[in-house]
Structure 1
Amino acid sequence: MIVVIADDLTGAAELGGFALRYGLTAEITTKVNPASKADLLIIATDTRSLPREQAEAVTEQVSSELASLKPRLVFKKVDSVLRGHVLAEINIQKEKLNLPKALIVPANPGLGRTVVDGTYLLHGSPLHLSSFSQDPEFPIRSSLVPHMLYAADGDVQVLKVHEPMPAKGIVVGEVKDAADLAAWCSKVDEGTLVAGAAEFFTALLESLHIKPSIPANGIGKLQLPALMICGSAFHKSRAFIAQMKQEGFPVNYMPPALIRSGKTNDPLFIEWVEDAIQNLETFGKAGLAVHPDVQENRQDALVIRTLMAEAAACINKHMHIEEFLLEGGSTAAAVIRLLNIKTLYPVASLAPGVTRMRVKGSYDLYLTLKPGSYEWPQAYLLPGRKNGAEQKTDY
């Protein structure tokens, strides 16, 4: 068994999609499942959205519970641009697993995300010059890797791939291309905690002689009624929602005044939910989103994801939703908590980072998840497309 601890639900789902491509059975849970028979067990902790102290406590508990599983590999899935409490969680996990060193490889060169000379680049430009600087919870203010990790002097070493690994401590590996990812895999030994983003994970699988065996599932058919919930602050995400609205996908924007109130008994909340229900009854689908003109801060982000989750629960209580399309990891985690969903099985990889999953115990409830900075497959959201194959699992 391979075990992944993911600090974000959409990142967990992304790796679940890779499992399908590599012919692995996968189970995504919110807690350690010692009875799991999956090839790939992914524990989605949602620690990225928690205060640091809570994130540390969750990481400590999950890491302690892993011992009974005796996994072949433990991988710490972190954000590719290092948002979250990365160093704090790595240190705890390293200690609990009794490992002297950790290797973090956050780059996704296939998406233009590289680390060169200690600087994180997006398509060749410093990351802090991009829209990631506007993240409401973890804004990127510097592209220097130690600064992105909030590291003190001596906390981490940023090394090039030809430089030797130290016997202990935390290393961030520089990566300019896929060959560098493979080279870092060759430096991993039994004393190394491995952490990073999606492309490093697939490179590790291939270093273990696990090769892609199943082509991507492609576009399937949206189950109706379907509710899309977009809690991402990423500007491209909001622009896409606006485009989908123009092209006929019914979107219900959260009233800006509701963000200031934050109350589910506010008449604005009730009207917003009722409008979404009307769209679902009329068109079979609806979207809940933040208006593109809203500029949110950290407190607003918490209010928004709470209201999104409460709205999803209210709508699902009124009418049985067969498919939830969830964007943004913290929003998705808030939704599944209120819906009391504990375990998911990936059934289709619809696009890079976009994974469709079935809820354990239900053959007619699906969740399709994606990170805010990735793109939805537009053909999946609009009618007139052929169905794709799915993989049925339950264990």
Structure 2
Amino acid sequence: MRQWGGNRMIVVADDFTGAAEIAAVSFEGGYSARVHRVKAPIDLQPDCHLVLDTDSRLKSSEQTKAVLAPISKALSSFPAIPVYKKVDSILRGNVSLELCLLAQILGKKRILLLPQNPSGGRTIKDRTYRINGIPLSQTEFASDPTHPAQSDSPLDLLGQTHGWSVSYCSIGDALPTAGIVILEAERDSEVQRWSKQVKPDDLAAGGRDFYRHLVGTTQREPRPFDLPTSTLLIQGTLSPERERLHQALKGNTYLDLQLSPAANPQKSIDLCASSASDMISSNGLAILGFRRENTSSESAAAEIERALRAVIATALNSSKNVAIHLAIEGGATAALILKILNLDTLEVIQIWGDGVVSLQSEKSPNLTITTKPGSYAWPPALVEAFCPKVIEQEV
């Protein structure tokens, strides 16, 4: 029988920042917590909470099925270890498909789904999803470039359920015995109440708050931690939090580099790379972002990868044997950068706040990587640590 709260756990997440967010919850509880990209062989170490990043949020249904296939063999090798399915807190991505596939792999007939995080102002009450009291379709997520929120109903957001029944449970309702069950909760105490009703034969799925109660960890204040003094911050999203960071950094000196997601002359990328390298080598902060322009997602992805490869390679090659801090906004951007760096497994070393996590890999001991979901804010302690002088440069 699977037991929650033990030394070994497996979590399946669909993007890197979500995976890191869940690994951080385990780290808070005193467990060894690692994030592992599923493209590499899965090596579950003893006394480990392992979070698998499938990087499948933006993939097609067929691509998602192909990504999840190798996980089935790995999971079947560990029948006594609990499995949790991390989903996006506002149900973006191939949520229902991944839930159904994973439940089938594990032989589950009931999926208890609680995606919202009341601790972060994200609630579901009366079949309506709200963020800080505002219906979801009236928030910034209505203009999400890949998964615009056009409804406030969690049932609508979940979409097609691939032959599974779906139901909604308010507080106090009896749980159905099978199917996908969306759990209402607008308070942390309600999340805790639902967590106590999870049975060994259920697939528990959702966000950070649900997992925290299942594992039995408590939120703690960040401990003192010294980051490397040279930071390259890559902004891979167009969330309003991107601009809020720039406002918070006013009065400091940093290098702000903006490239096009559509096309850049090679000399512009080279200039960007050398400028970023010079700045972070002088104990400063370089920020690389991409302007808001109309372009196809495929061409943008290729151009962004080309630019990031050049900037990261130049920055790291010029800083050999020097500790570097790489801060990344957005799960897709984090996954791309880990691919560029060929890093498969990273261990949590510091938590700055919900969803904002620093990690390291044995492959690159001089590199500290901090990630956060695009819609989350950078914690004040991190903003303060980023840099002390404003140089703005567009290329």
TM over 0.5: yes
When structure 1 is superposed on structure 2, of 308-317 and 55-64 the one drifting more is 308-317
Aligned partners of 1:136 and 1:301 also within 8 Å: no
* TM-fit CA distance, 1:324: 0.8
Aligned partners of 2:237 and 2:374 also within 8 Å: yes
Name 2:187's counterpart in structure 1.
177
The CA distance in 2 between the partners of 1:204 and 1:16, in whole Å, is 14
When structure 1 is superposed on structure 2, of 350-359 and 270-279 the one drifting more is 270-279
AA aligned opposite 2:235:
C
Name 1:59's counterpart in structure 2.
68
Closer/same/farther in 2, CA of residues 266 and 155 from structure 1, 3 Å limit: farther
TM-score by length of 2: 0.87
Matched pairs, number: 374
The CA distance in 1 between the partners of 2:384 and 2:148, in whole Å, is 33
Specify which of 201, 205, 219 is matched with residue 191 of structure 1.
201
1:188-267 aligned within 5 A: 188-206=198-216, 211-212=217-218, 215-235=220-240, 237-255=241-259, 258-261=260-263, 266-267=266-267
Name 1:377's counterpart in structure 2.
379
Per-residue Cα deviation, 1:259-283 (whole angstroms, up to 9, x for no partner): 222x6x6332222222212322334
The CA distance in 1 between the partners of 2:26 and 2:138, in whole Å, is 34
Per-residue Cα deviation, 1:333-386 (whole angstroms, up to 9, x for no partner): 10011100111111111122211111124432211111111121233343599x
The CA distance in 2 between the partners of 1:365 and 1:74, in whole Å, is 30
1:1-395 aligned within 5 A: 1-31=8-38, 33-151=42-160, 155-206=165-216, 211-212=217-218, 215-235=220-240, 237-255=241-259, 258-261=260-263, 266-291=266-291, 294=293, 298-299=297-298, 302-303=301-302, 305-307=304-306, 309-310=308-309, 311-320=311-320, 322-383=324-385
Closer/same/farther in 2, CA of residues 300 and 216 from structure 1, 3 Å limit: farther
* TM-fit CA distance, 1:225: 2.8
Aligned partners of 1:308 and 1:335 also within 8 Å: no
SS of alignment partner, residue 189 of structure 1: coil
SS of alignment partner, residue 104 of structure 2: helix
Closer/same/farther in 2, CA of residues 68 and 369 from structure 1, 3 Å limit: same
Per-residue Cα deviation, 1:278-327 (whole angstroms, up to 9, x for no partner): 32233443111234x65777457635652453232343234346221111
Moved over 6 A (4+): none
Closer/same/farther in 2, CA of residues 171 and 312 from structure 1, 3 Å limit: same
* TM-fit CA distance, 1:86: 0.2
Per-residue Cα deviation, 1:182-228 (whole angstroms, up to 9, x for no partner): 2211221122111100001001112xxxx44x944335222033211
The CA distance in 2 between the partners of 1:384 and 1:107, in whole Å, is 30
How large is the RMSD of aligned CA atoms in angstroms?
Answer: 2.5
Closer/same/farther in 2, CA of residues 319 and 60 from structure 1, 3 Å limit: same
AA aligned opposite 2:120:
L
Structure 1: gaps spanning 5 or more residues: 386-395
Closer/same/farther in 2, CA of residues 148 and 219 from structure 1, 3 Å limit: farther
SS of alignment partner, residue 23 of structure 2: helix
Aligned partners of 2:262 and 2:303 also within 8 Å: no
SS of alignment partner, residue 333 of structure 1: helix
Closer/same/farther in 2, CA of residues 96 and 215 from structure 1, 3 Å limit: same
* TM-fit CA distance, 1:178: 1.2
SS of alignment partner, residue 336 of structure 1: helix
SS of alignment partner, residue 375 of structure 2: coil
SS of alignment partner, residue 382 of structure 1: helix
The CA distance in 2 between the partners of 1:289 and 1:99, in whole Å, is 43
The CA distance in 2 between the partners of 1:372 and 1:230, in whole Å, is 8
Closer/same/farther in 2, CA of residues 74 and 249 from structure 1, 3 Å limit: farther
Aligned partners of 2:231 and 2:386 also within 8 Å: no
Per-residue Cα deviation, 1:89-110 (whole angstroms, up to 9, x for no partner): 1111011111111111011111
Closer/same/farther in 2, CA of residues 301 and 171 from structure 1, 3 Å limit: farther
Per-residue Cα deviation, 1:117-144 (whole angstroms, up to 9, x for no partner): 2211112221010001111111111111
AA aligned opposite 1:243:
Q
SS of alignment partner, residue 364 of structure 1: strand
The CA distance in 2 between the partners of 1:150 and 1:120, in whole Å, is 15
* TM-fit CA distance, 1:145: 1.2
The CA distance in 1 between the partners of 2:151 and 2:365, in whole Å, is 46
Aligned partners of 2:31 and 2:49 also within 8 Å: yes
When structure 1 is superposed on structure 2, of 58-67 and 110-119 the one drifting more is 58-67
When structure 1 is superposed on structure 2, of 106-115 and 147-156 the one drifting more is 147-156
SS of alignment partner, residue 46 of structure 1: coil
Aligned partners of 1:112 and 1:124 also within 8 Å: yes
The CA distance in 2 between the partners of 1:361 and 1:299, in whole Å, is 30
The CA distance in 2 between the partners of 1:296 and 1:179, in whole Å, is 45
Closer/same/farther in 2, CA of residues 290 and 218 from structure 1, 3 Å limit: farther
TM-score by length of 1: 0.87
Closer/same/farther in 2, CA of residues 5 and 259 from structure 1, 3 Å limit: same
Aligned partners of 1:18 and 1:202 also within 8 Å: yes
* TM-fit CA distance, 1:158: 1.8
The CA distance in 2 between the partners of 1:384 and 1:113, in whole Å, is 28
Aligned partners of 1:101 and 1:169 also within 8 Å: yes
